[in-house]
Amino acid sequence: MCPPPDQPVTANGSGNGKEEMVPIVNDGPHISSSTNGQVKKMNENVAEQPPAVKSHKGLYGRASDFLSNTSNWSIIESTLREGEQFANAFFTLETKIKIAKMLDEFGVEYIELTSPAASPESKAHCEAICKLGLKKTKILTHIRCHMDDARLAVETGVDGVDVVIGTSSFLREHSHGKDMTWITKTAIEVIEFVKSKGIEIRFSSEDSFRSELVDLLSIYRTVDKIHVNRVGVADTVGCADPRQVYDLVRTLRGVVSCDIECHFHNDTGCSIANAYAALEAGATHIDTSILGIGERNGITPLGGLIARMMVADPEYVKGKYNLSMLRELENVVAEAVEISVPFNNYITGFCAFTHKAGIHAKAILANPSTYEILNPADFGMTRYVSIGHRLTGWNAVKSRVEQLNLNLTDDQVKDATAKIKELADVRTQSMEDVDMILRIYHTGIQTGDLKVGQSAVLDKLLEKHMPSRDASPNGSANGNKRARIEGATA
């Protein structure tokens, strides 16, 4: 699960409150407001900084930029279709309804459901979700290019039907066994039937990047002439790279006048980059799933696409989607399919906005955009600076000193930091450890028992006030941490 915004995570992601992270709030240009009222504001007089991202476009933008839809695109969210193909997935109707309502609140333009031809339950679920009366989101179902499937689909009450058939030689020979003449004839029949019901229709090739270009362009041109809403490009096996995607979509953009939808699998790690390349080339719709779940390694993750597009046009993304819901969406789906949100997950992973290196921490305190291209506050998240380790810097420790309302000079903070680093050479210090060390140090300075540079004296003070553990770097690190400081006050 992703950590809630008011509970910093531990080094192992457990979020049990004994973390080694300092929540950092900065009211500079990268951050609009604090998400933790207990954290003292830092650097209140930060000078105005340039934006973290500058557009590559300008007076001399590339001619191809005129095709770009990176500021004009829509999401077809396929967790309830592609996501059902994930190895661990089994969604009850109750779970599907919960996810559908959340996706509607998040603001996706479309939700794609499993074909009603898949099973009686799939048909019943499709009908139930169509009756929810979602406010923003249209309901689609994904079917084979077959009249029987089309008839079932239109009976469910969906807003649109996504038709697909394999066009590569691999699938024509080893899957459905049909040639391009049969595919074209059947596609026209299915499309005309669905259109007659007054709902949207998309026609997609399957395994597009292993299909013959002449076959693809021929059938896309044919279905465009009978006015499909969208044509689809599918990297079914995840073999495509961004350059291939750009070339195919740009070529297709010159052939059809309808919208272009793209579906990218992540078998070779290119799904997000491919989605972005497709939009640059003129695509209009991207298929996603929450956490990227789907067949094999899944498809373009919703959060990953949002992260990429926030860099391209943050105001456009923030104007369309309720970004603070992303963490909750991912938690719900992760629980449903019995997986954990990865530590390095886009935006919501517990390491996404965590800073550790001392040089990084200093810059982050001055201006977060130095080492963050995304603003965690846009997603209801909080940044953290990890300080209980050997790489920590005194600027990060100083921020914690100020949050604890301790009165220490820079030289004293540096001295305390040296002790933290010394102890961290034995084992990483929890946030609780760091706070106790700082309070003991502060009390020693205030009473006159300790001066800067008196490491041995500090060791004795730590041993006295932290009796449950040996504070010496040469001692045991296995003591429990239940004992609390008495008399070492702020």
Catalytic residue among 146, 285, 360, 442: 360
Q: Compute and round to an integer the Cα radius of gyration of the chain.
A: 28
Question: Could you write out the DSSP letters of every residue in 122-178?
Answer: HHHHHHHHHTT--SS-EEEEEEES-HHHHHHHHHTT-SEEEEEEE-SHHHHHHTS--
Contact between residue 424 and residue 392 where contact means Cβ atoms under 8 Å apart: yes
Q: Which two tokens stand for residue 405?
A: 């309302």
Burial class (CB in 10 A: 0-12, 13-18, 19+), 16: exposed
Q: Which two tokens stand for residue 287?
A: 């298929």
Give the strand order in the sheet containing 354-355: 21-24, 383-386, 354-355
Q: Can you tell me which residue has the tokens 């995607």?
A: 245
Q: What's the full length of the chain, in residues?
A: 490
Burial class (CB in 10 A: 0-12, 13-18, 19+), 188: middle
Q: How far apart are CA 251 and CA 263, in angstroms?
A: 17
| Closest alpha carbon to 20 in 340, 464, 405, 436 | 436
Could you tell me what percentage of the chain is helix, strand and coil, using 3-state DSSP and rounding each to the nearest 5?
Answer: 45, 10, 45
CB under 8 Å to 199, separation ≥6 — which residues? 154, 158, 159, 160, 161
Helices (H) and strands (E) in the chain, counts: 16, 11
Q: What is the DSSP letter of 26?
A: B
Q: Which two tokens stand for residue 224?
A: 């465009």
176 is catalytic: no
283 Rama class: left (phi>0) / alpha (psi -120 to 50) / beta: beta
- Count the Cβ atoms, other than its own, within 10 Å of residue 4: 15
Active site residues: 360
